[in-house]
Amino acid sequence: MTTVAVLGTGLMGAGMARSLARAGLRVRVWNRTAQRARALAGDGIEAVEDPRAAVQGADVVVTMLFDADAVEQVMGPVLETLDPRAVWAQCATVGIEATEHLARVAESRGVAFVDAPVLGTRAPAENGQLIVVAGGPPAARERVAEVFDAIGSRTVWVGERPGDGHRLKLTLNAWVLSVTAATAQSVGLARRLGVEPRLFLETIAGGPTDCAYAQLKGAAMIAGDFAPSFTLAGATKDAALIERATSDAGGEARLMGALRGCFEAATRDAGDPAELDMAAVVRAFA
């Protein structure tokens, strides 16, 4: 039976661990705040208190931590203990440059590395309906297929270079963040102009300018329901990663810079950005 270690059981890692267990894989979870991992124990999931204990003997190690620093802090010290046949599937959104760096670190310790960020938020993670956008050597693909099939409805292999998964992931998140901030702008503008913001969503509904994500996030913005699915902290991080990747590629980064500014402004006004959904960006337009 395949053993999978999941390091990081936040909003996404918890759902991914449950999807893996539901698919019949043996799952070990570790989280910095141990209580969040312990809450998952049972039904095919073992919670451990040390990342070393999680990765020992695992066939696949999944990292789903907040950012590149967290991934390197956790994985750096345990890489040597990985089984020589194990594959590290790095699923957190860390950016292209950091992915290339992490791949070099893995290679220097003889560990196979797959760049595997995901599209989809908390509910798809719980339901095994994420889309995995992966980059990595063909030799490693078969070894992670069972894991990706358990957490996702589809895997898109973008290329063989580490960073190829992230190249598509940042492209996708540029769209997701743009739609979210644009929805917030229209909700805020409607309010400022004395129009009921629900009329904005009702008027676009079903037409060519409609968008399921605008309806979802717009309804949350109007209701002031910011229970986290994709946190404001994550959106702010990703906007900065996309802005940087755009500039590094010689592209026009002003729009993403403006979006980052909106997410940062909401963060300043919002309380703890790790506890609020990115729909709280509407506060930047209040």
Which region among 58-66, 218-226, 242-250, 253-261 touches ligand NAP (by CB under 6 A)? Answer: 58-66
Token pair of 21 as six digits: 């267990």
Active site residue 237: no
The span from the first CA to the last CA of the chain, in angstroms, equals 53
With CB under 6 A as the rule, give the number of residues binding ligand NAP: 28
Residue ranges in 210-269 that form contacts with ligand NAP under rule CB under 6 A: 229-231, 234, 238
Q: Which of 12, 21, 150, 151 binds ligand NAP (CB under 6 A)?
A: 12
Q: Is residue 121 part of the contact set for ligand NAP (CB under 6 A)? A: yes
Give the C-alpha separation, 193 to 81, whole Å: 60
Stretch that binds ligand NAP, among 10-18, 78-86, 105-113, 133-141 (CB under 6 A): 10-18
Told to check if 33 binds ligand NAP by CB under 6 A, we report yes
Residue 274's identity, in one-letter code, is A
Neighbours of 103 (CB within 10 A): 22
Residue nearest to ligand NAP (CB): 10
Of 143, 166, 167, 169, the active-site residue reads 169
Longest dimension (CA), the chain: 63
> Residue 77: is it exposed, middle or buried by C-beta count within 10 angstroms (0-12/13-18/19+)?
exposed
Angle between helices 232-248 and 164-192 (to 10 degrees): 120
58 or 133, CB closer to ligand NAP? 133
CB-based contact 63:70 (threshold 8 Å) = no
Q: Which of residues 4, 5, 10, 21 is near ligand NAP by CB under 6 A?
A: 10
- C-beta closer to ligand NAP: residue 181 or 190: 181
Count other Cβ atoms within 10 Å, centred on residue 113: 23
Contact between 66 and ligand NAP per CB under 6 A: yes
Collapsed DSSP state (helix, strand, coil) of residue 16: helix
Annotated catalytic sites, by residue?
A: 169
For ligand NAP, the binding residues (CB under 6 A) are 8-13, 31-33, 36, 64-67, 70, 73-74, 92-93, 118, 121-122, 229-231, 234, 238, 274
